Amino acid sequence: MIDFILFGTIAYLLGAIPTAVWIGKAKYGVDVREHGSKNAGATNTFRVLGKKPGIVVLVIDITKGFIAVMIPFFFGVGEWGSDHLIEVKLVCALLAVIGHVLPIFAGFNGGKGVATSLGVIIGVHPPAAGIIVALFLIFFIASNYVSLGAIAGSASFPVSIILIFKETSIYLIVFSLVLSFAVIFAHRKNIGRLLKGEENRMNLFKK
């Protein structure tokens, strides 16, 4: 139990690092939560502050998720692939995403957790992460809707875990379903705008 509490707390605190908020305020004097979509994530950082800070936020948010789930392994919680290590990593993964969405360091007002979710999935199941990234890019580049790419990528997580990789761990299957639902639910307003044709586009290749 101590492993879950200790590493889960560390994972939450890592996830709670409000990258977009801190970079926006420190370097640009701007709280991204007061502009654009008012979301403290990489996408809104791209829109409000530009590509360079957007990329920095994206990379850091992915990295903090990855580190959060890998720390238990680095500290010898269990052998790679062991049931106990997998369980601890999954708890850390969920808490890291919760930390990003509800960051204690930013008044519990964070982002949607997409980048951090990708980071934890890379740490938990790299092949599934590859499929998620591929689908995200396909849908995003084809439509210029970041939200559509995020929704498609998230929906593919449990599908790939269950149907493609045929994982048998009930914990991993439940985790994939919960995380996928959470990300899609966080985009419920975007889904409404997509259906109405009112969602904002973002051209990846526009200077």
Q: Write the DSSP string, 60-109.
A: HHHHHHHHHHHHHHHTTSS-TT-HHHHHHHHHHHHHHHHHHHS-GGGTT-
Polymer length in residues for the chain: 207
Considering the domain boundaries, does residue 38 fall inside one?
A: yes
Question: What ranges in the chain are assigned the alpha helix state H?
Answer: 2-15, 19-28, 42-49, 51-74, 83-101, 114-124, 126-143, 146-159, 170-186, 188-196
Overall pTM surpassing 0.75 (yes/no): yes
150's tokens? 């995020």
Using pLDDT thresholds of 50, 70 and 90, give the confidence band for residue 203.
Answer: confident
Find out whether 172 and 90 touch, Cβ atoms under 8 Å: yes
Considering the domain boundaries, does residue 201 fall inside one?
A: no
Considering the domain boundaries, does residue 94 fall inside one?
A: yes
Domain containing residue 92: 2-196
Number of domains in the chain: 1
Considering the domain boundaries, does residue 140 fall inside one?
A: yes
In tens, the pLDDT along 111-134 reads 999 999 999 999 999 999 999 999
Considering the domain boundaries, does residue 73 fall inside one?
A: yes
Considering the domain boundaries, does residue 160 fall inside one?
A: yes
In tens, the pLDDT along 124-177 reads 999 999 999 999 999 999 999 999 999 999 999 999 999 999 999 999 999 999
Considering the domain boundaries, does residue 206 fall inside one?
A: no
CA 55, 192, 18, 48 dihedral sign is positive
Considering the domain boundaries, does residue 203 fall inside one?
A: no
